[in-house]
Structure formats: C-alpha cells, structure tokens
Structure 1
Amino acid sequence: MGYLFPRIGMFAALLALAACAGPRPKALAVLHYQHVANAHEIRFTNPIPLSAALYRVGHLTPVDSQGFWAIFVLCNADITEYAGRGFRYNVNNFRVSHEGREFGGLSPYSLRYQGQVDLNNAGDTMPILDAVAAEIQEGPPTQLFQSGFYPDLNYRFAIFVPKALDNYAGEELTLTYTGQPAILVGNGKPPSDLPAVGGSAGGVAAACVPPLP
C-alpha cells in the first residue's frame, strides 16, 4: 500500500499546478477562413522604390525556392457574448502554424528583387508589406467587431512562408490568431498553387466557397 503515497503526492502537485495556471480564456471569436492559394512570386502593378535596390522593383521572389505566400480569405466571423469590449480584428495578427512552427511578418534577406542578387533589408520591411497588401489584401487592416455574426466578409490577406514546410503536400494550412483568444476553422478546400499573383499575373480567389461536407 505504500506505493499510493508517491502517487497521491504527484496528483496533489498536478492539482496545485492547475490551480496556478487558472482557467483558459474563453474564445472571443470563431473565425472561418479559406486557404485560397500559395503564390511563389508577387508582382507589382506599379514597381516600387526600395532602399536595397537602385531601381524600382517590379516583383519579389523568396530567396529559398520553396518559399511562398499563403493567401487566405476570412469568410465570416462569429463574435461571442464574451467579447464585452468587442473583438479587435487586425490582419497582422494572423499566423500560419505548421508542425509546431509559426510564420508571420517578414525577415530581412528572405526576398530577392526581380531575380537579382539584391535582397530585402530591415528598412524595406514596411514598404514591402504595404506593397504586397496593395496587390493582395481586401478588406480593412483593422476593425472592431461587436458581438454577433458577420457573414460574407471575404477579407483577403497573404502571409509569407520563407522556406519549405516539412511534410507539406499542398493541403489547407492552419491559421491562428494572436492578441485575443479566437477559434479558427478552415473550410477544408486545398489552395491553388500559383506561380505569381498581383500586377500582370493572374488573379487569385477573392471569395470563400462552401465548406467541404
């Protein structure tokens, strides 16, 4: 019977840890999305000036040949009753999550300008993000949602994935949200694989389709 005491002590320690951790925060929103495309080049309708180049840059490609922009459309938002002060939507709070790694934002020296040796530096981060948003993004960059259901939003945005993803075969990627607790649900449709988007390239889906059964 003596073996019970160590187990009792272990359970007591786990209960104490759980009490310290406290309850998980309730989700303030359920966001439904579609992963519409993976694009391997961004073209600009109007070439942009960047400090790391002596010319206006007309297109960007990842330094790593397996990198890409994952493009998503936010289909609808169901803001729960727990969001007493509303849910603060910010397009920059989305992340791609895959096998324990998260991607979002833009790191220096991860993009190549027009196939040349010139790479992006830290000072060009915001001009690049703004230019990509101008080509890809639909919907406001920020918005305060009060409790309720918001259908047919079709807010489109892109997240840069700088390198190949382990064990990724082109299926829908998992989207997460930082800043406020939210549940994100994809509609199960696999993305298109596009050599380029923006500028003179072909378009990319701008609206969600019904989820897979």
Structure 2
Amino acid sequence: MRHFIRRIAMLAALLALAACAGPRPKALAVLHYQHVANAHEIRFTNPIALSAALYRVGHLSPVDSEGFWAVFVLCNVDVTEGARRGFHYNVNQFRVSHEGREFGGLPPYSLRYQGQVDLNNAGDTLPILDAIAAEIQEGPHEQIFHTGFYPDLNYRFAIFVPKALVNYAGEELKLSYKGQPAILVGNGKPPSDLPAVGGSAGGVAAACVPPLP
C-alpha cells in the first residue's frame, strides 16, 4: 500500500511539473540551410601564432581521425510577425544535432597542430576560431533580422565535430539553434567530403542549390 501511495505522489508531482512547464515557445523564424561539406583539415592562408606551439601553425586536424568540420550555408531566413524584436542571428549559436547529441564549440585537446604532438589548449580557443572563420566564414558574425523574408543569404560557417558520429554515413546533418526558438530545414543535399579546406586547399561551396523535390 505504501509503495502504491508513493507512485501516486510521484505521478502527481510529474503532472504538476508538466503544467508549470507550459507549451513550448513558438518559433520566431524558419532557417533554410545546406550542408555543403565535411572537411578533415583546416589550412591557413597566413599561419597563426598559438601559445601551445613554438612555431606558427599552418594547418589543424582533429586528434580523432574520424573528426571533421561540418560546413553549412544559410540559404534564407523567414522571420514571423510574432518576432517583435526580430530574430538575433549569431553564428556561435548553431549546433550539429545527431542521434540525441549536439556538437558545437571547440573542446581543448581535440586538435593537432600540423601533425605534431602539440594540441590546442583552452587559451587558444578564440584565436583558432577567429582564424577558421577568416578562412571559411561568409556573412556577418551577428545580425538582427526583422519580420520578413530574406532570400539568397549564402552565409557560410563551420561546426567542429571532434569524433566519429554513430551510424553516420555522410548524409546531410541536422542543424539546431540555441539562441531563440527557430525551425531549421535542410535542403536534402548530401555534403562533399573534402580532405582539407582553406589556405592552399580547394574551395568549398559558397551558395545554396535548390532543395531536392
């Protein structure tokens, strides 16, 4: 009997929490994107000085051989009338979502400098992110989109995936956004698999193509 009463009390508490949580906030914008490439090395046009190395670093690669940078292009943004203060686009708020996990940012000791033993530390995070953005990123770092439709943006950015993704076979990856409620829709095109981008490496797609039917 005592066990039954505890179960009833637990169910009541869960129902109360659900009531307090209320409905999910409505999306303020719909963002269409294309996953254009997975790159396994970043090269720099101008080698950069980092505290974890006694030399200027000309390229980076993941410590895990299955890690990569997922490169995306934001095709267009449609901001709803309910976004009174507009939609705040910030490239750092994007995440890769895959099988219940999210990836974003740059973990320490996840990158190798020029194939050497030297690895990135926390103090080098911002210089590395800035250098990668200089090679890959197109479009502003931040922008306010007010109500309306914004076509043909072609804002490009990269998200680091430090390890192999479970059950991933090279298909389009899902994007999520952490800043404000938004719906993100990929165009269904699979990414190119590139050994390197930036610097002396080959280019990466800079514009969206029409979505698959």
| TM score, norm. by length of structure 2 | 0.93
2-structure distance, mates of 1:81, 1:9: 42
2-structure distance, mates of 1:61, 1:17: 45
Q: Could you tell me which residue of structure 1 aligns to residue 22 of structure 2?
A: 22
Tell me how far 1:9 sits from its aligned partner: 9.8
Q: Could you tell me which residue of structure 2 aligns to residue 158 of structure 1?
A: 158
2-structure distance, mates of 1:13, 1:203: 55
1-structure distance, mates of 2:17, 2:53: 54
Post-superposition Cα deviations, 1:84-139, rounded to whole Å, max 9, x if no partner, equal 00110000000001011100000110000000000001110000000000000000
- Determine if the alignment matches structure 1 residue 91 to structure 2 residue 58: no
Post-superposition Cα deviations, 1:137-192, rounded to whole Å, max 9, x if no partner, equal 00000000100000000000000000000000000000000020000000000000
Where has structure 1 moved over 2 Å in runs of 4 or more? Answer: 8-19
Segment drifting more, 17-26 vs 118-127: 17-26
Aligned sequence identity (%):
88
Q: In structure 2, give the amino acid aligned to 1:28.
A: L
2-structure distance, mates of 1:137, 1:58: 18
Tell me how far 1:21 sits from its aligned partner: 1.4
2-structure distance, mates of 1:9, 1:133: 52
- Determine if the alignment matches structure 1 residue 63 to structure 2 residue 63: yes
2-structure distance, mates of 1:184, 1:204: 22
Q: Could you tell me which residue of structure 2 aligns to residue 5 of structure 1?
A: none
Q: How does 1:168-187 map to 2 (within 5 A)?
A: 168-187=168-187
1-structure distance, mates of 2:49, 2:199: 16
Q: Could you tell me which residue of structure 1 aligns to residue 33 of structure 2?
A: 33
Q: Could you tell me which residue of structure 2 aligns to residue 197 of structure 1?
A: 197
Q: Could you tell me which residue of structure 2 aligns to residue 209 of structure 1?
A: 209
Tell me how far 1:19 sits from its aligned partner: 2.3
Q: How does 1:70-85 map to 2 (within 5 A)?
A: 70-85=70-85
2-structure distance, mates of 1:194, 1:40: 7
1-structure distance, mates of 2:113, 2:133: 17
2-structure distance, mates of 1:127, 1:12: 51
1-structure distance, mates of 2:126, 2:9: 53
Consecutive unaligned residues of structure 1, counting only runs of 5 or more, are 1-7
> Number of matched residues?
206
Q: CA RMSD in A?
A: 1.6
Consecutive unaligned residues of structure 2, counting only runs of 5 or more, are 1-7
Segment drifting more, 11-20 vs 53-62: 11-20
